[in-house]
């Protein structure tokens, strides 16, 4: 072991931990494990140790790729980068040439630019701008699904990768929404936005959180069946006003004279009536 440490310029303690891990680990099957005296056959290990001596640790690998360590871990977990050797009890080591080949693949069709236009964003900023996973954007780039792939001059690694925000949104756009947003219900029921929010939060209608198919922002969506269920039981003053072509204030006064009361909602919200109370009255 001391001979190998000197010959390949590998720290003795790191090499010892590596050999010990290779002896006890079932996951390392590339080479025969060291013997009880922590010795290995030179002819078999020589090419491998030469490559190992040139490997880098995860933080250095992240710097080479031009990403934060957290992003590098995501790339590793998703299989975009694989360690040259991974043995329990030691720090994973990465082949710099393999990492460079990944960068070459990503940038193979990239156009060098000095500055970005209005629609163009950094790959690392895509989760914030497009509400998506950066790995999905990397996949789109490598699969050739984006027309605009740029390499920012002066930036290293993936920090220099830039794309078109609109192209990413187009590529990741999901199926149309099956239901109504709160804003759509506000216009449909002719009520205030705070009224819709109260009706949803109070359980008059059920909503689920989902992402907008294009801008990827989270929103509350009320299914069409829930809307129909609500409309069979209730009717808003705004809808009644439009149906009977009367000003809301006059119609509310008329309903009050007819002893028809709205459901009990907090002060300041739009009026909502039970259909059973107004059927046959108006």
CA neighbor of 174 nearest in space, from 132, 220, 208: 132
- CA distances 265 to 144, 181, 199, 236, Å, are 54, 21, 9, 12
Residues 232 and 275: beta-carbon distance below 8 Å: yes
Q: What does the pLDDT read at residue 88? A: 76
- Write the CB contacts of 253 (distance below 8 Å, at least 6 apart in sequence): none
Q: For residues 101 and 104, what is the distance between their CA atoms, to the nearest angstrom?
A: 5
Tokens linked to 151: 């390499």
What pLDDT score does 22 carry? 67
Instruction: Return the pLDDT at 86.
Output: 80
4 closest CA partner among 14, 235, 230? 14
Assess whether 124 and 211 both reside in one domain.
no
How far apart, in Å, are the Cα atoms of 168 and each of 145, 151, 179, 194?
Answer: 9, 16, 24, 33
Q: Is residue 210 part of a domain?
A: yes
Range(s) of the domain holding residue 23: 2-94
Locate 237 and state its tokens.
Answer: 């003053």
* Domain boundary pick from 39, 72, 94: 94
For the chain, the domain total comes to 3
- Contacts within 8 Å (CB) and 24+ apart, 261-264: 262/237, 263/234
According to the model, what pLDDT value does residue 142 have? 94
CA distance 137 to 263: 49
Mean pLDDT in consecutive groups of 10 residues from the start of the chain, 282 residues:
65 69 62 65 72 90 96 95 84 93 95 94 93 92 94 95 94 86 94 96 94 81 95 96 94 94 96 93 80
**Which of 38, 68, 94 is the last residue before a domain boundary?**
94
pLDDT at 57: 93
Distance CA 13, CA 24 (A): 17
Rounded Cα–Cα distance for residues 242 and 187 (Å): 12
Q: Return the pLDDT at 178.
A: 86
Whether residues 30 and 52 share a domain: the answer is yes
Q: What's the residue count for the chain?
A: 282
Last residue of a domain, one of 94, 127, 149: 94
Contact 162, 113 (CB under 8 A): yes
Q: Are residues 257 and 186 in the same domain?
A: yes
Show the tokens assigned to 276.
Answer: 């059973």
Q: Is residue 235 one of the residues assigned to a domain?
A: yes
């Amino acid at each position: 072991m001391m001979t190998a440490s000197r010959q390949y310029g590998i720290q003795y303690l790191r090499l010892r931990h590596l050999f010990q891990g290779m002896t006890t680990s079932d996951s390392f099957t590339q080479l025969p494990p060291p013997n009880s005296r922590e010795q290995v056959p030179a002819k078999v290990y020589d090419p491998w140790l030469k490559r190992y001596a040139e490997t880098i640790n995860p933080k250095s690998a992240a710097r080479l790729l031009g990403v934060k360590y957290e992003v590098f871990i995501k790339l590793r977990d998703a299989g975009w980068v694989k360690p040259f050797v991974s043995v329990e009890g030691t720090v994973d080591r990465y082949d710099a040439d393999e990492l460079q080949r990944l960068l070459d693949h990503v940038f193979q069709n990239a156009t060098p630019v000095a500055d970005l236009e209005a629609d163009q964003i950094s790959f690392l900023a895509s989760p914030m701008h497009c509400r998506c996973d950066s790995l999905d954007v990397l996949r789109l780039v490598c699969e050739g699904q984006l027309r605009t792939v740029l390499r920012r001059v002066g930036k290293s690694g993936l920090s220099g990768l830039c794309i078109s925000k609109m192209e990413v949104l187009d590529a990741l756009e999901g199926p149309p929404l099956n239901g109504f947003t709160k804003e759509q219900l506000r216009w449909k029921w002719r009520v205030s936005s705070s009224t819709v929010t109260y009706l949803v939060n109070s359980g008059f209608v059920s909503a689920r959180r989902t992402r907008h198919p294009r801008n990827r922002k989270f929103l509350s969506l009320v299914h069409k069946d829930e809307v129909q269920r609500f409309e069979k039981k209730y009717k808003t003053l705004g809808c009644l006003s439009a149906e009977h072509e009367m000003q809301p204030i006059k119609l509310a006064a008329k309903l009050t004279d007819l002893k028809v009361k709205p459901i009990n909602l907090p002060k300041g919200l739009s009026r909502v009536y039970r259909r059973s109370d107004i059927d046959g009255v108006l």
